[in-house]
Structure 1
């Protein structure tokens, strides 16, 4: 039996509980998770007192009708925060959500999974994956927000914040007042520069529904697809395009898939799986530029070695960066990026909070500052923040890092794949199983179990009833 510290003993139990909750709704993953090697040690210090500002002004003075709470952002965090406000009876007439998108908050991981399936393979579409269906909760459609008395402002991003006057200005010129402000702006996709073809027609990035719709339009006419990046986006998009029976090539500079998490042995097994689906890999090379045809549309990807791979559709999945926008003045973390917060997601300015992808928070279990780009953290940080804001709840956010991905789940696929990772990928690794269909990798540091990756090849593994695996830990 492998010895475990008490804090990490939760790894396998967390696998069971997370999986059980996810199976009741649409289980989704957030397009990019923070690379584990970008999590740095550090500390932050904020006053322990909980702040909640209240104000009284003329409703006619502000576009949000004198709402006390304002959430900026329309992703997972905003949706789960809204649900928590409702659960505490503090939403109706008090809460306003401001989003740059045209849709109510939704489970963003769907965009690189079921949303990309061909029409004959039952793709996901709104309103099917509005929050909070990802954890088995109520589907929060636009009508739900109306019924709950929550004001929604769509397609009007915030361009300025005045922390002294507690006001926000939107792109259309609306002036909003807040008592407490929650920043839930998430991340934006890292892009190729224009000078190397990053914005050519046929080149795609995925962060929202509009991006996914644009990609689907391309896939409907595509013959040759190139996916740039061997991380989450690359793996999920390549799996989805296989359902379209398209010529798909994945290019990345590393030696194997998911180098920040997968061991070479594990990556080899997944690469073989993708190759069985017809996906090709070009590894260990960089891209010089994207080439355009006579019509200006992307026609190929030129590599540093001088060779060119033909493509009529290119998907770039090379990471993301926190969307701090006008909130830089709130206080950024120079090591991991994002807005610095404490264990209750309070920034250094009273009354202002940051949650989800954009928050640089103290990761209690490992005593370091982290920024996690994953749907599980987006949900949990939102709930923790709002509870701290509205109640006497003063517990520090105690999060066990958790990442997962689901691929090849379209109708007719010979094998559906779902892997889960818990903890930290440090130390020596031990691999159990041969991916036929199950495999597990354990990270052990100084005799202590630090991380676990499980390939959920069977229901017994997913739900913790496979004795062969359970006895190991």
Structure 2
């Protein structure tokens, strides 16, 4: 009987094993996770879970007994220390060898840490990536405390929103010229900057962190412009790095993550990869998508490829972020945009990205209709008349039949 092993019990790994079973695979499946908990959703950690609006059990992607009923061996609190593609074997913590017929790497990504020389090793310097992070952060979220958020991407902005809602004094710093500099247009950055300031967050842009101060625990921060802040704790949101250590040590090709082909196959025979840890062909280059949507879709595509499908993976990028009363939904990828058209419907607002006259992405703030229509147009390879998009009284639905 064939044995398929999946390393990484996050969204990609959980989606992959579920797809194996639903597609008819009746061999052995082992899903290995480093955390004690079964596979769970990560996005609510920095939102509803931290706000106390969601308990841990509701985070679980499947009931804990689902894996047993599906005859999937779930190994939690278990680490893989070595992969041997030639021998078709992995070595688990405790020196337990595990043979496989096919292997999938869904190891995700790790948050980038502040260097120790900048105070990154002090107590009270936190990241937000997993349940352990949320557990350490929750008791610190007390009204009146001062938190410094380092990084003005979506993770930093979401953490700032939760802290502000819980009554903390929040200062957010971004070393680049503006927040969301790598991922969104100025129009979107302007929207969220004003949203945060309206909720009392101090947003400081174009100023980096010089160092954190304190002996054992963080007590303050010195900014690059000389300003000194007294803070109670720090949340860093300075990006993530794909988890490639095991793959690299095993000799797999690495290119901004574990390099896979259009069928999620790595450079090693019978080894596949999916999710945040994997980069795949996109246009004339490669891309790695850090999103729940990609983890689900790519995990399922990898499962089918492991079963012999020759259908290439075709991503349909979509993302979201919840901040205060605003739900941001993003469709497409805005790489290389040369024009942004703003659709201002008051409470509902959307920003439409074009490249060479072609619609490539949409940022929709409390505008689910604009998001859905933009997403359908992008996936169909159609564009949208900028004159219609920019006219808030025009019916967007007409664009679908244009």
Matched, 1:86 2:25: no
2:166 counterpart SS class: coil
- Distance (whole Å) between structure 2 residues aligned to residue 168 and residue 259 of structure 1: 40
Show the counterpart of 1:400. 316
Do the aligned partners of 1:346 and 1:352 also contact (CA within 8 Å) in 2? yes
Equivalent of 2:224, from 290, 299, 304? 304
Q: Deviations over 1:394-447 (max 9, x none)?
A: 111111332221222xxxxxx332232323332322332347222222222222
- The answer on whether the counterparts of 1:429 and 1:441 sit within 8 Å (CA) in structure 2 is no
2:179 counterpart of 1:257: yes
Can you give the 5+ residue segments of structure 1 that lack an aligned partner in the other structure? Answer: 1-53, 56-67, 132-139, 409-414
Q: Which residue of 2 aligns with 1:456?
A: 366
Deviations 1:200-256 (A, max 9, x none): 111101221011111112214760011100001111111111220110111111222
Alignment of 1:306-385 (within 5 A): 306-328=226-248, 329-334=250-255, 337-363=256-282, 366-385=283-302
Which SS does the other structure have where 2:321 is aligned? Answer: strand
Q: Distance in 2 between matches of 1:447 and 1:220?
A: 49
Q: Which has the higher contact order (CA 8 A, sep 6+)?
A: 1
Distance 2:399 2:182 in 1: 25
| Residue 73 (structure 1) aligns with | 8
Q: 1:426 to 1:468 in 2, by over 3 A?
A: farther
Contact 1:161 1:326 in 2 (8 A): yes
3-state SS of 2:25 partner = coil
Partner of 1:100: 34
Q: What is the rounded CA distance, in whole Å, between the counterparts of 1:467 and 1:76 in structure 2? A: 39
1:211 aligned onto 2:133: yes
More strand by share: 2
TM-score (norm 1): 0.76
**In the aligned structure 1, how far is the partner of 2:35 from the partner of 2:345?**
40
Equivalent residue for 1:468, pick from 383, 395, 402: 395
CA deviation profile, 1:305-343 (whole Å, cap 9, x unmatched) = 221122111001000111112211342334xx2111111
Q: Deviations over 1:333-371 (max 9, x none)?
A: 34xx211111110111111001101111112xx332111
Query: What is the SS of the residue equivalent to 2:59?
Result: coil
Q: 1:464 Cα shift?
A: 4.3
Point out where structure 2 has 5 or more consecutive residues left out of the alignment. 375-392
State the alpha-carbon separation in 2 of the partners of residues 266 and 373 from structure 1: 19
In the alignment, what sits opposite 2:54? Answer: 124
Secondary structure of 1:226's counterpart equals: strand
Residue 298 of structure 1 deviates from its aligned partner by 0.9
Question: Aligned partners of 1:433 and 1:338: how far apart in 2?
Answer: 36
1:251-306 residue CA offsets vs partner (Å, 9 max, x unmatched): 1112222111322233112111111111111110111111116xx22111111222
Q: Across the two proteins, how many residue pairs are aligned to each other?
A: 381
Change (3 A) 1:126 1:372: same
Q: Give the superposition deviation at 1:380.
A: 0.3
